[in-house]
Structure 1
C-alpha cells in the first residue's frame, strides 16, 4: 500500500507507477532550476531600478 504523501506527489506530477525515483527527482530538479533562473533574471533586471535605503543620505560615507 502506498503512503498518502506518495499518492499526492504522483498526482501532483501526473506520474505513472513505472516511473523511477530518478525520473521524479530529475523532473523536480529541472523545475527548481527553471524557477531559480527566472528569479535570478527578474532580480538582475529590476534590482538596479529599485532605490536602496541608503541612496541620497549624506550621513553615510
Structure 2
C-alpha cells in the first residue's frame, strides 16, 4: 500500500508541474525543503522545446 501511495503522490506532483504551477507552490505541497526532493519525478515530465520555453519565459500562456 505504501508503494501505491508513493506512485499516486508522484503522479499528482507531475500533474502540478504539467499545469505550470509555480515551483514554490509545488515544493510546499510536496512538503520538501529543497528541489532535490523532487528530482526523482523529473524523468516523468515531458520535455519543453526551446521555443516553448522562450514563450513561457516571456509570459506567454
Scaled to the shorter chain, the TM-score interval is: 0.3 to 0.5
Q: Which has the higher helix share?
A: 2
Bigger CA radius of gyration: 1
Higher relative contact order (CA 8 A, sep 6+): 2
| TM-score calculated relative to the size of structure 1 | 0.34
